[in-house]
Structure 1
Amino acid sequence: MKHMYFGPGIDIGKKSEFWHGSLWTEFPLFGQEDIIISQVKYRTGSFIYYQSSIQKLGFLRSIQRDEENKIILKIQQLVFYEELPGIFKGISRQQRENSGEVWMLDENFITINPSSVLRKATVKLPYLNQSLTPGELNVKEIIYKYKNHWRIRDINMSYLHPAHYISTNNSPTSSLPVYKLFLDMYYDNFGTYRNVYHSLGGVYIQFGNMPANLRKLVKNHFVISFVPFGGSFDEFILPFVKELKEFEKGKVMSVQGQEAWVVAGLGVVTADLPQGNDLAGVLRHGVNKGCRTCSINKDLYTDRNQDLALLSRYKQITDLESVQINNEFTMSRKKQMSSEYGLRIKQ
């Protein structure tokens, strides 16, 4: 335990550990999820007004510490119509601003001190199915740069912030120490015999709370079990997932003879290319759209002129595509749409 890290994410120039990255800092299961400023609680994944040279509107992405161990807040900026690049200004967007629309800037996240926070803001995001009343602030488009040129895309083409789909429970008492475990699961198929290949699946976990020099040691790889010949990984992993879901809510456990509040979550899944695509619900890499992070045609993989922001796989969009596939009545049509989207047909 003494070599494991439990705490907020750290904003550092040379990143070498999980807690240096956005995955740790933004996930409520691993990093710091809230902060009290002037007796008001602010949570990651919420909107705030903050003081810069003028009052600004922002999205609180994470609560971190800098290299001097001072608390800082990472903010994604939102802009009003008058702050838009000239190329995007026009009558349509000007009228939409009158209805409360603002724009999210997917460029240059900034850090501020907690003392710069002024108050909470209410901003609605359509993909969260939030009801919108006239005049309420809302975001429908994201502004970003591609090859030094400003572009704009629909808000649905954005990765969900973890705070929008993960809820956590507080410790039953503030006196309990809190340990948040970052699990890194590895899955791989291998042959058990020299001359005859029978695929056996090995499932292992590591703790991302350990520094990299300790994670690489064999003694710190823990075997969960093996998927038997011809077995289904989905069926095999269900008990593990069920237990992990319970740990996400938190449990009071004895840690080195002292009661503590323990939370655990799956932070990273590592797998070889075929198994990784299977786990992500994407067709194998030989098909036209066999990349599990984007929908680029395989003939264009080496084309450097691809705008990944427009071609990435976003969960909310992929979920809709999967529903469309499975709502088809004939298998031939399901296969056609499966090939079109590069997604597996759910059994």
Structure 2
Amino acid sequence: MPLLNVKGHYIPIDDRKTPSTSKPIKPVYTISIQEHLKHILNNPRLIAKMYFGRGIESQEKSELWHVDIWQRSSLYGDASIIINDIKYDVGQFVEFIYTNNKNQHERRFGRVEAIISFLPPSDSDNPNNQMQDGLKMSRLLRHDELGIYCSQNRSQRGHRKLWMIEEDYQIIPLNHILRHVSIWLEDTPPPVFYDFQVSEILYRDAITKRIQIRPVKFRHHHPSEYIIAPNPPPLRDMKLFKF
């Protein structure tokens, strides 16, 4: 493959807070992002490793992006999916069936973080070992799931309360999604009707590694809350390059 063109030019240097030996100008070098992408896409050894479209959970391919924001953003991933003739959007809250470590089924609440394709475990109901559609989900806890953090006050007001938690997302098959749930996050305007409300979030402190509880206003917002998804393109198979 031919080498990329590198452009060089000089820029002035601000002499404030710089050593006295600093020169007034310095050379800088840049490459074109567009040319860089063309260079990659024309590489036959790389193109076979690429994939297009929604986020994929795979051991062989990964997304070179900030964590999983590519999957969660409606600008790049899928913004909605139809399950049993019902439309589900990323960012919405649902009730779903969760399989715990004892292979027991439990009804849980959560938020649809992303619509993905994934490869189920070989011991699941997938004898052909093919990629399946699924939802990447963040859990919402009931008061009886708070453990030692379930104070008397939280227990008394826990009937219509749920708690957000920052943890690894869970991948839920589409046939485990039960229904929509209306949930009011108390740092947003209240809806006319809601099933539950959330006022607090649990997260693990980066220094002490202990679980902390803070007001929900300190949460990380889902991209659906601040990104307006464009109208879908006329061609469903429009390629979005992710590698």
TMscore range, shorter length = 0.5 to 0.7
> What is the rounded CA distance, in whole Å, between the counterparts of 1:103 and 1:132 in structure 2?
20
CA contact under 8 A between 1:9 and 1:21: conserved in structure 2?
Answer: no
Are the aligned partners of 2:79 and 2:229 in contact in 1 as well (CA < 8 Å)?
no
Matches within 5 A, 1:171-190: 171=232, 176-179=235-238
2:117 to 65, 68, 73: 65
Give the CA deviation at 1:16.
4.3
How far residue 42 of structure 1 moved from its aligned partner, in angstroms, is 0.5
Deviation at 1:171, TM superposition (A): 3.2
Corresponding letter in the other structure for 2:236: P
Equivalent in the alignment of 2:219: 158
How far apart in 2 are the matches of 1:143 and 1:164? 20
Distance 1:63 1:157, change over 3 A: same
Q: Who is 2:153 aligned against?
A: 92
Change (3 A) 1:210 1:79: closer
Q: Which residue of 2 aligns with 1:337?
A: none
* Residue-by-residue CA offset, 1:103-147 (whole Å, 9 max, x unaligned): 0121232111000000111111122323466x7411111112334
Structure 2 unaligned runs (5+)? Answer: 1-40, 99-104, 120-129
Secondary structure, aligned partner of 1:92: helix
Residues 1:56 and 2:116 aligned together: no
Shift of 1:44: 0.6
C-alpha contact 1:19 1:25 (8 A) present in aligned 2 = no
Match among 149, 160, 163 for residue 210 of structure 2 = 149
Q: Quick one: which of 78, 82, 98 aligns to 2:140?
A: 78
Question: How far apart in 2 are the matches of 1:101 and 1:144?
Answer: 17
Q: Corresponding residue for 1:31?
A: 77
Alpha carbons of structure 1 residues 13 and 142: separation in structure 2 relative to 1, 3 Å: farther
The alignment's TM-score, normalised by the length of structure 2, stands at: 0.64
Structure 1 residue runs of 4+, over 4 Å off? 1-5
What secondary structure, in the 3-state scheme, does the structure 2 residue paired with 1:65 have? strand
Cα root mean square deviation, aligned: 2.7
Task: Quickly say closer, same or farther: Cα 1:152–1:57, change in 2 above 3 A.
Answer: same
The structure richer in helix per residue is: 1
Matches within 5 A, 1:259-278: none
Deviation, structure 1 residue 92: 1.7
Unaligned runs of 5+ in 1: 182-208, 212-347
- 3-state SS of paired residue (1:93): helix
Indicate if the aligned counterparts of 1:60 and 1:74 stay in contact, CA closer than 8 A. Answer: yes
Q: Offset of 1:79 from its aligned partner?
A: 1.1
- Aligned equivalents of 1:145 and 1:160: distance in 2? 17
How many residues get paired?
Answer: 179
Percent identity between matched residues is 30
Q: TM-score, normalised by structure 1?
A: 0.46
Do structure 1's residue 45 and structure 2's residue 106 form an aligned pair? no
1:224-263 map, 5 Å? none
Counterpart-to-counterpart distance in 2, 1:129 and 1:180 = 37
